[in-house]
Amino acid sequence: MTKRTQDKAAIGRPTAGRAVRGGLALAAVGLLMLGGCRESEQNRPLDYEPGVYLGQQDEPLDEGVVDQLRDRARSGQQM
């Protein structure tokens, strides 16, 4: 076999460097996919409806806080 024939035959064969790079790329993709498994990202709404709040309900305000907010709103409007 001549050098030219050997070069053509080696074109289709993967080298050790290619295998290592491929393995590293595969490992990187695997790590990125594991990032979606964080506990804080579980049980969150995935289907959104326009105009509908799907989160947790807020606690109702007590009457004293409502009165304070009402007074602040009135004082801001009297200017």
Q: How confident is the model over 52-67, as pLDDT tens digits?
A: 888 888 999 999 999 9
pTM, to two decimals = 0.32
Asked whether the beta carbons of 28 and 34 are under 8 A apart, the reply is no
Token pair 């990125």 is found at 32
C-alpha span between 36 and 65 (Å, rounded): 40
Q: CB within 8 A of 1, min separation 6: which ones? A: 9
pLDDT tens digits along 32-50:
877 666 777 777 777 888 9
Asked whether the beta carbons of 65 and 71 are under 8 A apart, the reply is no
C-alpha span between 33 and 25 (Å, rounded): 12
